[in-house]
Structure 1
Amino acid sequence: MTALGALRLPDGFTDVFTSRFVDVDGLRLHAVTGGAGPALLLVGGWPQTWYAWREVMPALARHHTVVAVDSRGAGLSDKPDDRYDAGTLADDLVALMAALGHDRFDVAGHDIGTWTTYALAADHPDRVGRIAVVEAMIPGLTPSPPLLGPVALNQKLWQFGFNRLTDLNEELVRGRERLFFGWQFATKAATPASIPEYAVDVYVDAITADPRALRASFAYYRALEETIPQNERRSRTRLTQPVLAVGGALWSGTYAVDTMRLATDDVTGVILDDCGHYPAEEQPARFTQVLERFLAGEPADAATTAP
């Protein structure tokens, strides 16, 4: 991973945002922060870093103090051997936001970042305001799919089993990271070129540059042994925060809103047309508009609201 000035970023990005490290409870976390207004925490998915939010951060920073974080195990943050369950990841980020001076904040999470977002809302309701979950499947809340489901479903979820393996997956992927992770982006986005090669390089380089990173990238999935029973307990109490659930029409569709309706009655569901698994990168202008309207308490566009 390199300094902000060495990355391809939207014009004026480095005039607004700063890369920084914050020590919390013996853990060093990396975040990119900037803007002014109510605090908004952005939590990325697998196998990405804070960089996944780059296209939406400048617009969001006009009305929010934006904190795009590398969770433990990702990007430039520390990669300890253990404690990758959702509850611990949420505790990390509460401590991070407190260290940055934010006692209360909104959260948007994508992919496995939604696991942390759900835990933040459920475990720290006094700290978390509105939450947005993007392309969410939350183990322990979402019903588990069948072992031998349709081919299309297997195409979307096969990595859950593979990533939970012990040691073998590292051996199979090490030295082939560009093939393995590049395939994820090429097949989950609306088109193979929707996530540009330079962005894929940033994500793959973050994993190959640190010998601990590949193991850490699988650790979130191995920790599902702890996260699933945590979420089963969380699901017994309905969330009190308003929730925005966003899906890409070409990937998970209504899956996010269906999932979050299991957790709360206050769900705004939005499906983005011509979008795959990565709304903040594939449809940044539309995604920003939807997120901003939600954070401001405005109704969603009826044309994009899920049934």
Structure 2
Amino acid sequence: MASTSSPTLHLSTELKFPFDPSHRRRRKSTFAPSLSSGKTVRSREPIAVRYRRHASPPSSSTVPNAVLKGHTTQDRVQGDEAPCPPQLEVQSRVWNWRGYSIRYQCCGDSGPALVLIHGFGANSDHWRKNIPVLAKSHRVYAIDLIGYGYSDKPNPRDFGDDLFYTFETWATQINDFSVQVVKDKAFFICNSIGGVVGLQAAVMQPEICRGIVILNISLRMLHIKKQPWYGRPLIRSFQNLLRNTMLGKFFFNSVATPESVEGILCQCYHDTSQVTDELVQKILQPGLEPGAVDVFLEFICYSGGPLPEELLPLVKCPVLIAWGDKDPWEPIELGRAFRNFDSVEDFVVLPDVGHCPQDEAPHLVNPLVESFVARHAAPSTAST
């Protein structure tokens, strides 16, 4: 969920503190003028701007937004005008990985395999609006990265000077999961830091990944390489302070409350009506599990590892990048540069959407995933 980026040296930027607790659930709607009556009516037609690689982006003032191909607003309309068809059952299972219990969810028994990878502070429940829809024509797996959700949370101090919670660890987990559980090549569908995980996994074992869809990837602006030399000692000192004193636990306890989680979500969701009590609980509850505080502090003190711009040139599979243009944490102005990489075949702007498009705007994200997978899926006989 939360980003690890910041354009400044504000060291609390993992969760973009301080936030305004009063910034909650302001309902936002997209409206369009009625051509027939002159009145204002709610627009039901989702739109997105698609930028092909190496093509000049259209001017928003002269070129209308392109409607997502093959997509209708059926899912939204059915909720108001027709009974919804029964959804496929989503199963929650446990996978033993190197002696650790890993929670994952799965749904669907035919079609290409998709592995859904969540962002920082989130878990596989953040894909709850995507799993049953995509499972109609795919085998869908959503995993809790080790340290998050309801997967085990080993204490990072048990590994001595070696870092455990790294993108290499999570990438290895994803690749092993694809081999041992999915038992097939897979498409990786990723959000935020999950995008870095998916890219790292594809670089480490390119024979496993068939393609990657990335939603608002973390730019990792607190990475040591992106900090001026004079700021690096300050960052290290603050990280040591969080790790080795009670300040870190105090910071975590201030975050791990319903009010704080709601406030953080209302920052990163442009449509704050999507920040429901259900969502708050699905993000918060696993964070109250034993060991969660140590994982939290370990990762926000992790300023090394790969950057997305270092991984993209090494990826051999096709990549689609979609970006909510109202993301306050990962500015789309910086993200647009990624469309110039050879591996990125498409850069899609999601209008009026924040940092977590899969949950805030699934009616835009699900068709994007379906069309991307359809373009690149080869016949597969594997099934669960």
Give the TM-score category using the shorter length.
Answer: 0.7 to 0.9
State the Cα distance separating 1:24 from its structure 2 match: 1.5
Q: 2:279 matched to which residue of 1?
A: 199
- Whether 1:249 and 2:343 are equivalent positions in the alignment is no
- For the aligned residue pairs, the C-alpha RMSD in angstroms reads 3.1
TM-score, normalising length: structure 1: 0.78
**Residue pairs, 1:187-226, within 5 angstroms:** 187-208=267-288, 210-225=289-304
**Conserved 8 A contact 1:16-1:34:** yes
User: Helix, strand or coil for the counterpart of 2:352?
Assistant: coil
Structure 1 segments (4+ residues) deviating >6 Å: 145-148, 161-164
Which letter maps to 2:188? V
**Conserved 8 A contact 2:254-2:260:** no
- Whether 1:42 and 2:122 are equivalent positions in the alignment is no
Distance 2:145 2:242 in 1: 21
Distance 2:369 2:323 in 1: 12
Q: 2:147 matched to which residue of 1?
A: 73
- Whether 1:132 and 2:213 are equivalent positions in the alignment is yes
Match of 1:110 among 191, 195, 207: 191
Q: 1:181 matched to which residue of 2?
A: 261
State the Cα distance separating 1:285 from its structure 2 match: 1.1
State the Cα distance separating 1:74 from its structure 2 match: 0.8
Alpha-carbon spacing, 1:71–1:26, altered in 2? closer, same or farther (3 Å): same
Q: 2:95 matched to which residue of 1?
A: 22
Gap runs ≥5 in structure 1: 1-9, 149-157, 299-307
Q: Residues 59-108 of structure 1: CA distance to partner in whole angstroms, max 9, x if unpaired? A: 21112110001000111101112311101111011112222142311101
User: Helix, strand or coil for the counterpart of 2:273?
Assistant: coil
Distance 2:199 2:339 in 1: 9
Q: What is the percentage of aligned positions where both structures have the same residue?
A: 21
Q: Residues 240-272 of structure 1: CA distance to partner in whole angstroms, max 9, x if unpaired? A: 11101111011133544423645x443310111
Q: 2:133 matched to which residue of 1?
A: 59
State the Cα distance separating 1:125 from its structure 2 match: 0.5
Distance 1:196 1:121 in 2: 34
- More helix as a share of residues: 1
Greater relative contact order (CA < 8 Å, ≥ 6 in sequence)? 2
Distance 2:85 2:154 in 1: 35
**Conserved 8 A contact 2:243-2:298:** no
Distance 1:247 1:71 in 2: 22
Alpha-carbon spacing, 1:256–1:29, altered in 2? closer, same or farther (3 Å): farther
Distance 2:229 2:255 in 1: 27
Match of 2:105 among 22, 29, 32: 32
TM-score, normalising length: structure 2: 0.64
Distance 1:187 1:139 in 2: 18
**Conserved 8 A contact 2:103-2:151:** yes
State the Cα distance separating 1:183 from its structure 2 match: 2.2
Which letter maps to 1:198? E
State the Cα distance separating 1:196 from its structure 2 match: 1.6
Alpha-carbon spacing, 1:236–1:44, altered in 2? closer, same or farther (3 Å): closer
State the Cα distance separating 1:206 from its structure 2 match: 1.4
